[in-house]
Amino acid sequence: LSGLSTVVAFIPLAWHIRNKNTAAICLIVWITLFNFLSFSNALIWGGSEFDIYTAWDGKIFCDVEVKFFIASGAGIVSSIAAIARNLARVMSNKVTVIKTKQVRRRELVQDLLLCLGLPVWTMAIHYFVQPSRYLLLATTGCTPTISDSWPSIPLVLIWPPIISLVSAYYAGLVLVRVHRYRQQFADILRSSNSGLTTSRFIRLFVLSLVLLVINLPLTFYVFYRNMEQPWTPYDWDSIHGKDWDYILRIPSHNIIQFDRWVSVGAGYILFFIFGMGNDALKMYRGWLDTIGFGKYL
C-alpha cells in the first residue's frame, strides 16, 4: 500500500510543479518520502515476526531514515499550514494585482520557511533528546526514539500541535472569507494573480481541510499520550551513554504504527483530489500526445 501510494503521488506532484505551487509541492514531497521509507522498511523487515531478531541491524541506513521520518512528520503539518495560509491570503481581497519579482520572491521564501523550517529544526535538534540510535520493529522497521526528559517537550513534541492549530486558524479564515466574499469569489481569484481557478482553489482547500481534520486530533492525541509518562531531568551523559549504540529489536505482533497508515492514506487522498480532475486529465492527454498515443483516445 505504501509503495503504490508513493507511485500515485507523482501525478499530483507533476501537476503542482507545472503550476509552481510551492507549499503543495512540499506537502507531496514530505508525504511521498514518508511512504517510500515505509515501503522500504516493509520490504526489509516485513518477514516473520521473530525474524526481527536475526535480521539486518540497519546501521547507517536507519540512522539516516529516522531523521527523515521525524522531518517528514513535521513537514506534513507545516505544509498544510502553508497551503491554508496561502488560500487565506488569496481571499483577503487585499492581494497585489500585479506581482513583482520581489513579491514573488518574498512569498516563495515565506513558503519555504514554513514548509522546511520546522522539519529542519526537528531533524537537527532531535539528537539532543535521542536516547538511542533507533528501534527496530518488525515490518515497521526503523523507528526514532525520543528521551523522556523534559526538554523533549519544547524542542520536539510541542511543535506539531502548535502548527496544527495555526493550520486550523487559517482554514477557519478561508471559510469566513469565502462566505464574506462569495459574490466576488471568482473576481477575487482572477485579480489575485495566483493562477488559481475556482476548481483549483476548492481542491487545495479540500486537501488541506481533510488532512487537517485527520492530523489535528492525532497530533494532540500523541502529545497527550507523551505527557502521560513520567518526565525525568535532562542528563546528556545518561541520554548519550555507553548503551546509546545498542539497537533494541521488537516484534510488532502484526501491528503497524498508526503514523505509517496516516501517510499512506494521505498519498491516496492526494491522488483522488488532484489526479482525477480536468487539469490532470489534460496533463495525461499531453503525456499521451508526446508518446504518440493521444490520437487513439
**Is residue 143 included in any domain, yes or no?**
yes
Instruction: Please answer whether residues 51 and 43 qualify as being in contact, where contact means their C-beta atoms are separated by less than 8 angstroms.
Output: no
CA diameter of the chain: 69
Show the domain range for 263.
1-291
**Is residue 296 included in any domain, yes or no?**
no
Query: Rounded CA gap, 77 and 220, in Å?
Result: 12
Q: Which three cell numbers, joined as nine digits, stand for 35? A: 511512504
Instruction: Please answer whether residues 260 and 142 qualify as being in contact, where contact means their C-beta atoms are separated by less than 8 angstroms.
Output: no
Each residue's pLDDT tens digit in the chain (297 positions)?
999 999 888 888 887 888 788 999 999 999 999 999 999 999 998 876 667 888 899 999 999 999 999 999 899 999 999 999 999 988 876 555 556 778 778 888 988 999 999 999 999 999 999 999 999 998 888 999 999 999 999 999 999 999 999 999 999 999 998 888 877 777 777 776 666 778 888 888 998 999 999 999 999 998 998 888 888 888 888 888 888 999 999 887 777 888 888 899 999 998 888 877 676 677 777 777 777 776 666
pTM of the predicted protein model = 0.88
Q: Which residue intervals of the chain are DSSP H helices?
A: 2-8, 10-19, 22-45, 61-90, 101-125, 152, 159-180, 185-191, 198-228, 236-239, 258-274, 278-291
**Is residue 297 included in any domain, yes or no?**
no
Q: Which three cell numbers, joined as nine digits, stand for 52? A: 526481527
Q: What residues are paired with 232 via a beta bridge?
A: 149
Phi and psi (nearest 5°) for 82?
Answer: -65, -40
Instruction: Please answer whether residues 135 and 58 qualify as being in contact, where contact means their C-beta atoms are separated by less than 8 angstroms.
Output: no
CATH number for 17: 1.20.1070.10
